[in-house]
Structure 1
């Protein structure tokens, strides 16, 4: 195919000079300084715009900036309140039994789960940006905390010391979360990929479910380990010892009832409230059954005393001189990332349905301050709950007032109704937790990950089996390691492609993706698909190019040479930066091609790339063959 070379050669030379004579890119220090200056200027402009306003307007603007409730609260109506009131009461009915169950999962007294469903929702309601998120304790975070903190202090041997570490971890987790938002470090949350979270949550759900067999079977002594082997072994040993089947019968009966209402709620959307109140109804009915029949005298395990009253202050329990402060900080960092990942994922999901944007940095700060203040009021780590948020959305919530209604309802329950929970069977709490677990195991999403990206699926099952057969933190570590390995693998072995010209266009595309693309006689055009040519991948790229040139010139089956390459054009349009190893590799490539009588040309280099190639004198070594486009590089070869 004949190449279009009708462009003015002088014009092409001028365009090449545009590339070669570009101004020097800013240094890293300059980039950082400019970023800081823009940030400071942004805040100065905001501050100056505020200072020009009257004091009352200034105060209102500051309050709206820190507390979004002052912004959307001005347009709040009685109609919205009716919807929020119904939604708040609905999620409160689900929240109360779940909170007690999650507290026991975290190896804390039941009241701590209720405490965590009072203050955090109230704080988030005035600081959060999501309209649907229901804040409180969640199963995965409860398991994560208990599995890691109990390695420092045994909750059975020293419950006071264990509770102090949980509260300290909550405070530090809140500080980490608020810092992520303040310094715009939200990318740290992305260290846990979507695939890793799917596998981790599914594995944690199975572990949580197995651990609930303790309450469902009425087992007194149970393992503190979270791996599936230890849990099944503990259950096996317990079953072969004398045990009371009444706990199992009671728990399974109400588990079937709760799951049935969930099924009906999914089949008929108008009956969503039935599934929402089923856990609370189960708690009330089972408590009445145990109280009336005195089943606790016949082996049925009950909750017994639940401390009531307002959230007590826990500031005096935050001990920064604790010998485990370093280990607690590590635990807090992991918990902070997992809790933020879950909450932001939930918030964005429902925000997209409602058609508004969620501010990630503000969300991090609001969740952070929620946990900081919560740690002062006997709360452990709270975050957005998917199950309660889904119920909140289905109940028709309009704003975060539903969280306020939920918090006040739980507070009233703490103040007046905790004595009624004395006879609540532990098997019912296990049933409530078990009923919430199927929604955490997303098989269809795992299958979708398998179809889309096999390495992502490897991270998914790595997290899943890591949680199941090792521990929760090992599962997270495996997922992060596999995800980072994927990034390193892509960096070390970047994609390279041979380009050809699409008939009737000036476009050059991958000849494997577009078989109709025609290769230019005597020219090999190669594009590096990596954004960085560095020490990790430079040798691989050089060897791949030399191999392709050699194969292109090799003889066919009849002994005839396929083609003779005269010019190799390196399309660097995707290449954002290059280091000294990358430049050295290009120099070696140039020497290798020159020794075979071939030329090397660079097309469409980016700012940082051309600057470094000029400084290292590589442009001079290749005879200044640097062009704005691939087409111009080919035209220059034709003229020469």
Structure 2
């Protein structure tokens, strides 16, 4: 059909009301387009909309409220809220004290640092955080990462001062990294840790932590620095003659008590406070028992002296000039990512329950600033652990004031009550850690992944196996790598479908999903289900041509009418690059060589813009681009009937199969 014929065809189709012109978006200056893309990438929540048309004084107040959210909600704070936060704060303090001491030991740090880390960081978060339910404190996985990564090069027993200073330095860089992600609006980086990867990594880390605590349960003095299963088992069973039965019995009794209270609380959720009070109760009972029986003289190791007083400054302890600086930086970045992934996920989960929104970038800034402040005040890595936040939520907290109440309770403990922990047995701390970690081994989530998505299950199990049989770093790398490979595989090998008509409708759907869908005689309808980039252009070219060859072979073998038109439904193609443009040109050339006609249906604005600039639309012809697949099929049927009858009528414009 020549140009005059195309014009007559399009005019006829428009006259009978069968097609609509597909609009080409008006051209935009490059910098405007780039600005829009960057804004959508880094500022999808449009945080600056509230500053528009505001006087300078109001803009200053809004800026302060943005970076210090407590200035926004504090004027509306009521006594009823404070009463609820007071109860929640005291409740989480009863969990924070034993957890802080336990996790500090897990990180091979002095136990007092666990209490220090539950004082300053919660105060910083209360001012800068946007979550009402997040309870700040030390993290089990973060503690394990610190012990594993720093302990691999610096011994906490042989070089305790250097190890301590590197812990502060790693915490500082974790805070800098977290705050930088927030300020630069790069929070989407954390999203590369998929849910499946986090499930496997956390479960693997919890398993490793439990294995590590066998040292305390069995009362062993020497233990492997490795975190993998083989190293731990070898260390345990080569020291059978050094096992302490006194320590083992005490540990098993308290572990049973802790697991029992957790079980009872799950069966009766309104009695959640039983499992909340169990850790502090265990510390008190263990300390009293050791004091009365002098068990410390019979193989039961105790914490010993804890220095009274608030956090001493540690700014001068940061090892910026150390030969181990890069180790501290690497440790800090990895710990920072894990803390952010857990904290933001926990915060969003509880925000969803209470129907409010938290700003991910604000959370990153808050996490970063509290870890920077913590590194200068003798604290190590803190975040928003699920266990403590769940207690805070169940206790009925109303705002971040519950963190202030908790910090106040810890302050009182630091000033007056630390001597009471002198006789606290290490085995009780090990029992506390094991009972907490058992809850992180989420086998139900793994079963759910297996039923729902086998690939996600593989990602999760790969992360778990990497952590348990390798190291926490190896497990994390495996999880991220496999998740990234899945994304790349989706981009490089997008799905394409053959569409058919649902009987008695103008709807076209995948014939594999809808067996009742009928193919249109003489027309092959293909849907491309992803953006077209350089990574998938070659594959799509081969796949489209294969669909065409397969359809021609099928028609030839069945004796049906020959193929005349190929309709590409590109409604799911959100964007296209130059390689994609070349793909479209090559596909058209191949279709033309076969004596067929290429038709496009529902191209998006970005795709239309680039197709127009590349002269592809001019080459294809505006009359072969349609708003819907139905219109494209109607045009193809119109042409087929026109060619057969030799003239155009209203009747031939109707679809045969509708």
TM-score bracket relative to the smaller structure:
over 0.9
Q: Which moved more, 1:262-271 or 1:381-390?
A: 262-271
Deviation per CA, 1:538-572: give whole Å up to 9, x if none. 22222222222222222589x54344110111111
Question: Residue 96 of structure 1 corresponds to which residue in structure 2?
Answer: 97
Structure 1 CA distance for aligned equivalents of residues 29 and 497 of structure 2: 31
Question: Could you tell me which of 12, 30, 33 is aligned with 2:32?
Answer: 30
TM-score scaled to structure 2, two decimals? 0.90
Question: Residue 10 of structure 1 corresponds to which residue in structure 2?
Answer: 14
C-alpha contact (below 8 Å) 1:554/1:562 kept by paired residues: no
Question: Residue 138 of structure 1 corresponds to which residue in structure 2?
Answer: 139
C-alpha contact (below 8 Å) 1:116/1:380 kept by paired residues: yes
C-alpha contact (below 8 Å) 2:70/2:126 kept by paired residues: yes
C-alpha contact (below 8 Å) 1:106/1:143 kept by paired residues: yes
Structure 2 CA distance for aligned equivalents of residues 98 and 51 of structure 1: 46
C-alpha contact (below 8 Å) 1:522/1:566 kept by paired residues: yes
C-alpha contact (below 8 Å) 1:101/1:430 kept by paired residues: yes
C-alpha contact (below 8 Å) 2:130/2:362 kept by paired residues: yes
Structure 1 position 596, deviation (Å):
1.9
SS in 2 for 1:107: coil
Q: 1:14 to 1:32 in 2, by over 3 A?
A: farther
Q: 1:555 to 1:605 in 2, by over 3 A?
A: closer
C-alpha contact (below 8 Å) 2:18/2:634 kept by paired residues: no
C-alpha contact (below 8 Å) 1:16/1:626 kept by paired residues: no
Question: Residue 309 of structure 2 corresponds to which residue in structure 1?
Answer: 309
Which runs of structure 1 show a deviation greater than 6 angstroms over 4 or more consecutive aligned residues?
A: 12-16, 35-39
Question: Residue 87 of structure 1 corresponds to which residue in structure 2?
Answer: 88
Question: Residue 149 of structure 1 corresponds to which residue in structure 2?
Answer: 150
Structure 2 CA distance for aligned equivalents of residues 6 and 626 of structure 1: 11
C-alpha contact (below 8 Å) 1:96/1:114 kept by paired residues: yes
Q: Which moved more, 1:7-16 or 1:250-259?
A: 7-16
Q: Which moved more, 1:189-198 or 1:590-599?
A: 590-599
Question: Residue 542 of structure 1 corresponds to which residue in structure 2?
Answer: 541
Q: Which moved more, 1:613-622 or 1:424-433?
A: 613-622
User: 1:570 and 2:572 equivalent?
Assistant: no
Q: 1:618 to 1:51 in 2, by over 3 A?
A: closer
SS in 1 for 2:423: coil
Deviation per CA, 1:576-618: give whole Å up to 9, x if none. 2222332333333222222221111222222232333333333
Structure 1 position 260, deviation (Å):
1.6
Structure 1 CA distance for aligned equivalents of residues 173 and 551 of structure 2: 60
Question: Could you tell me which of 598, 601, 604 is aligned with 1:603?
Answer: 601
Question: Could you tell me which of 594, 599, 613 is aligned with 1:615?
Answer: 613
Q: 1:545 to 1:110 in 2, by over 3 A?
A: same
Question: Residue 300 of structure 1 corresponds to which residue in structure 2?
Answer: 300
Structure 2 CA distance for aligned equivalents of residues 335 and 324 of structure 1: 17
Structure 1 position 77, deviation (Å):
2.7
RMSD, aligned α-carbons:
2.5
- The 5-angstrom pairing of residues 275-290 of structure 1 reads 275-290=275-290
Q: 1:481 to 1:13 in 2, by over 3 A?
A: farther
Structure 1 position 179, deviation (Å):
1.7
Structure 2 CA distance for aligned equivalents of residues 90 and 499 of structure 1: 59
Structure 1 position 69, deviation (Å):
2.1
SS in 2 for 1:536: helix
Structure 1 position 314, deviation (Å):
0.5
Q: 1:11 to 1:442 in 2, by over 3 A?
A: farther
Structure 1 position 182, deviation (Å):
1.8
Structure 1 position 626, deviation (Å):
2.6
Q: Which moved more, 1:82-91 or 1:403-412?
A: 82-91
- The 5-angstrom pairing of residues 316-331 of structure 1 reads 316-331=316-331
Structure 2 CA distance for aligned equivalents of residues 381 and 607 of structure 1: 47
Question: Residue 588 of structure 1 corresponds to which residue in structure 2?
Answer: 586
Deviation per CA, 1:369-390: give whole Å up to 9, x if none. 1111111101111001111111
Question: Residue 49 of structure 1 corresponds to which residue in structure 2?
Answer: 54
Aligned residues: 627
List runs of 5+ in structure 2 lacking aligned partners: 1-8, 640-658
C-alpha contact (below 8 Å) 2:22/2:625 kept by paired residues: no
TM-score scaled to structure 1, two decimals? 0.92
Q: 1:71 to 1:24 in 2, by over 3 A?
A: closer
